[in-house]
């Protein structure tokens, strides 16, 4: 039997994981940059594929069903493994780059320094050197 026959629609799986993690269709939609309706449709598609309800929908809240909890606990490590492998592959491709910035000490202290940590977090492959 081929693997792809047992795999659910991957966009539906991604939507389910985000909703299960946040317990919110709105937060999942924001994270994935789609509408709440799109997330809801993807989750319904997954529920139909699995022939199982994954969420208990209430007026202002949602919870995982027992089947949803089990499914989430089993797929989450697999998705994290895929994400980790992707990060490793992408970081191997990115060579470290050096960015040299010549600036006044006052500008570096007052403006650049508070922003540098965020830049380093977003671009770990860029080494920043400050030069007077």
pLDDT digits (tens, 9 = 90+) for 96-113: 678 888 888 787 778 888
C-alpha to C-alpha distances, 33 to 20, 27, 38, nearest whole angstrom: 16, 10, 10
Residue ranges of domains in the chain, CATH in brackets: 3-92 (1.10.10.10), 94-131 (3.40.190.10)
Q: Could you tell me which residues are beta bridge partners of residue 101?
A: 130
Q: Could you tell me which residues are beta bridge partners of residue 97?
A: 126
Q: For the chain, what is the mean pLDDT?
A: 88
pLDDT digits (tens, 9 = 90+) for 2-45: 667 788 999 999 999 999 999 999 999 999 999 999 999 999 99
């Amino acid at each position: 039997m081929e693997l792809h026959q047992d795999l659910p629609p991957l966009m539906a799986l991604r939507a389910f994981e985000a909703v299960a993690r946040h317990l919110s269709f709105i937060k999942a939609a924001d994270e994935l940059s789609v509408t709440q309706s799109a997330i809801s449709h993807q989750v319904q598609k997954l529920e139909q594929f699995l022939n199982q309800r994954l969420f208990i929908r209430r007026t202002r809240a949602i919870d995982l069903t027992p089947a949803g909890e089990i499914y989430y606990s089993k797929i989450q490590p697999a998705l994290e493994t895929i994400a980790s492998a992707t990060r490793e592959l992408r970081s191997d491709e990115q060579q470290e780059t050096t960015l040299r910035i010549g600036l006044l000490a006052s500008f570096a202290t007052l403006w650049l320094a508070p922003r540098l940590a965020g830049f380093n977090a977003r671009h770990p492959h860029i080494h920043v050197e400050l030069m007077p």
